[in-house]
Amino acid sequence: MTSTSLPGGTFRMGDLPVTRMGYGAMQLAGPHVFGPPADRAAAVAVLREAVDLGINHIDTADFYGPYVTNEIIREALHPYPDDLHIVTKVGALRDAEGNWPQALAPEQLRQAVRDNLDRLGLDVLDAVNLRVGGFDRPTPGSIEEPFTVLAELQQQGLIKHLGLSTVNAEQVAEAQSIAPVVCVQNFYNIANRDDDPLVDSLAAQGIAYVPYFPLGGFSPLQSEEMHAVAARLEATPMAVALAWLLHRSPNILLIPGTSSVAHLRENVAAAALALPDDALTELNIID
């Protein structure tokens, strides 16, 4: 792979060197991340193109579809390249209506890990994130029981590294008292920066921070300000958002998703956008 040519270079997630420009597999499923894609061959092509571009960090979950994305990943890429790292998450399910109920009971978590292993065709998972919060923000409270279950599965050799999703700083600290944490995946972007202190704390510890919804939750005014900067740079708002995230901190990893090869290439190119100092100043004060 030519990972050093990708925007942002690489970051070490535990002992896993991953490209900061990754790929999120959520959009490989059908509409609203439910059911199969309209064009399975196109989904397979996107994954193969991601690897060909040098991306070695793929984010997924067995509840995407459900089951769909993991099955497509296996079809497209198995047997996996030695330097490809698949990060999955557990802690939720999909019901018949397409909702996302929590699934944090011990046996639900154990089954979720087994399901990820089976559908991905792996003997051990590189990294598993425990999803414990709501759609876009943490839910306060102890995560000792579910994280302990994953730590036990790690000790059994089924998981290499553990991470967290949609958590606050207190929950990160609680998890770290049980087992090492190598990544945190939370809602964060230019206009939603409540996690700024957490990003910096994790960076100081060498822990990856993986933001989702790079353009989610913008107010009309924030969107207007973003579009103004993008227009001045003759770029798209998505390009500005991705480039800003890479600039924000060296521990930030990107996982934009798409079901299109052309859009995947655009995302990779967009993340390489150079942001001049005046643009960074303007972006940093968006609130």
Q: What whole-number distance in Å separates Cα of residue 274 and Cα of residue 45?
A: 29
Q: What whole-number distance in Å separates Cα of residue 116 and Cα of residue 126?
A: 11
Dihedral (CA of 200, 202, 206, 211) sign? negative
Which DSSP helix (H) or strand (E) runs through 19?
A: strand 16-19
Q: Tokens at residue 120, please?
A: 């991905």
**Of residues 64, 67, 188, 209, which has the active-site annotation?**
64
Identity of the residue numbered 164: L
Preceding amide of 214 cis, omega within 30: no
> Which regions of 183-227 does DSSP assign to beta strands (E)?
183-187, 208-212
Angle formed by the axes of helices 261-271 and 237-248, nearest 10°: 50
Nearest to 190 by CA among 146, 144, 238: 238
Residue 64 designated active-site? yes
First-to-last C-alpha distance (Å) of the chain: 39
Q: What whole-number distance in Å separates Cα of residue 222 and Cα of residue 224?
A: 5
Q: What whole-number distance in Å separates Cα of residue 199 and Cα of residue 76?
A: 33
Q: Where in the sequence numbering do the catalytic residues fall?
A: 64
